[in-house]
Amino acid sequence: MILCVFWRLLTLSHEKEREMQLFLKPNDTFFFRDGRPFTRGEQSEGYSIEMPFPSTVMGALRTAYIAFCGDLAKFVDNQMESVIGTKQSLDGASIHIKGVFLGRDEGSLYYPTPRDLVSEKKSQDPRLYPLSIELPTDTFASNTKLPALLAWKNSTKQVEHADGYISCDNLRKYLLGETRGLMSEESNFITDEPKVGITRNYKTLTAAEGMLYRINMKRFADSKLGFVVDVDGIDQLPEEGLIKLGGEGKGFAYRKISQKNDPFSDDDWTTLQDKVEAAEKFKLYLATHAIFHEGWFPKNLPPDIELITAAVGNHATVGGWDVAHGRSKSTYRVVPAGSVYYFKLTNDADVDKILNCLHYKNISDQRAQEGFGLAYIGAV
């Protein structure tokens, strides 16, 4: 155990040397399109998600690097390949986003509520309750092939999935198996601000027929809120500056901050290892969306573990713009952030090796370097 903890400390020290955190604060409203089509003249309404996909932030940071360290011609000529890659690929590039989080400028962080937590139905009570692992029975069954299910056993209280966010401290308690007293955060961090517009003919300055549109802009309810980006491999950026992010190239002020986005201390890590070894089970929580070849199930997993059950949300859709070819990128259905998987250990599994292989790692089968599939390990 001493050697395991020492190796963990060395790993954390190395990561801290490379990782950098940025706080992004919008200058006005912002807009991050969901996966639904929004083609001029065909659709009249565009919808925005609350949090930017990690790939959106990756594009903004690469653009900021090009503007600060050179010009577009150097990027096109592959002179920035070692840091931000090429038009075609990020292969070999040092830039790597771990994740994008909701946060405040004084250091508070918020995470998507885990899908295995529920709240009282139609209630303003912020308390969260855990679902229990149940084996299928004649009266409790499902068409899933999983060996167990997650169920609510309290017949006196009606519950529903808890949307919104939990604080970093509540996430820490949840991951350590301390499920009593968990609280959800206010759900109105971000408010809607609709905008109506119309396409104009810039030669005649007249409105184009059939081109009226409406987009659902977003605005933070609190001026201290912003996005926290955990990124490494792009240290050359200035301490602060401006970037364009999302639809309409909305301006965000960024600054470098000192922020630990892994909620565990070294003592917590030892406690987690002990609990996983004792229970021979653990849970894997996704803090960011993930793209898996098998749909909802991750395949890039260490040996000696088996899936018990899972709480997976409805898929989200992610696409993007392919700069190299001037067209839309392939669209993927992604496992939403907040999804939780339960695993059991088999064959005298090496707990320390498994946890270090998965915890605070991007396990997405695709686009992991862009920040998809950030995983945290928790006790059951």
DSSP string across 322-370: ETTTTEEPPPEEEBPTT-EEEEEE-SS--HHHHHHHHTTEE--SS-GGG
Q: Which residue has the tokens 């050697």?
A: 3
113 in any annotated domain: no
286 in any annotated domain: yes
Do 36 and 74 lie in one domain? The reply is yes
pLDDT of residue 260: 76
Give the CATH number of the domain where residue 307 resides: 2.60.40.4350
Do 353 and 364 lie in one domain? The reply is yes
Do 178 and 193 lie in one domain? The reply is no
Would you give per-residue pLDDT tens digits along the chain (380 residues)?
333 433 344 444 334 445 789 999 999 999 998 766 666 656 667 777 889 999 999 999 999 999 888 777 778 777 788 999 988 889 889 999 999 999 998 889 999 999 999 999 888 888 999 999 988 776 666 777 888 999 898 878 899 988 899 999 999 999 999 999 999 987 689 998 888 888 887 788 888 777 887 888 899 999 999 999 999 999 888 999 999 999 888 999 999 998 777 888 888 999 999 999 999 999 999 999 999 998 999 888 999 999 999 999 999 888 776 766 777 777 889 999 999 999 999 988 999 999 999 999 999 999 999 999 999 999 99
pLDDT of residue 9: 42
Residue 364 domain boundaries: 119-186+263-378
Two structure tokens written together for 124:
């303003």
Tell which of 208, 231, 257 closes a domain.
257
pLDDT of residue 111: 96
Whose CA is closest to 114, among 310, 273, 325?
310
7 in any annotated domain: no
pLDDT of residue 16: 43
111 in any annotated domain: no
The C-alpha atoms of residue 27 and residue 162 are separated, in whole angstroms, by: 30
Tell which of 223, 257, 291 closes a domain.
257
Do 371 and 240 lie in one domain? The reply is no
3 in any annotated domain: no
Two structure tokens written together for 364:
């997405």
Label the pairing between strands 45-46 and 206-220: parallel
Asked if 273 and 175 touch (Cβ cutoff 8 Å), the reply is: no
Tell which of 204, 224, 257 closes a domain.
257
- Taking the CB of residue 232, how many other CB atoms lie within 10 A of it? 17
332 in any annotated domain: yes
Do 286 and 347 lie in one domain? The reply is yes
H-only helix segments in the chain: 2-18, 54-69, 72-76, 81-84, 168-175, 266-279, 351-358
pLDDT of residue 170: 96
Do 232 and 176 lie in one domain? The reply is no
pLDDT of residue 69: 81
Whose CA is closest to 41, among 214, 211, 200, 196?
211
110 in any annotated domain: no
Do 331 and 193 lie in one domain? The reply is no
Do 30 and 174 lie in one domain? The reply is no
pLDDT of residue 139: 67
Number of domains in the chain: 2
Do 360 and 267 lie in one domain? The reply is yes
231 in any annotated domain: yes
The C-alpha atoms of residue 104 and residue 10 are separated, in whole angstroms, by: 29
Do 296 and 336 lie in one domain? The reply is yes
The C-alpha atoms of residue 90 and residue 80 are separated, in whole angstroms, by: 11
pLDDT of residue 141: 66
pLDDT of residue 203: 80
Whose CA is closest to 334, among 287, 291, 286?
291
Do 181 and 193 lie in one domain? The reply is no
Do 329 and 203 lie in one domain? The reply is no
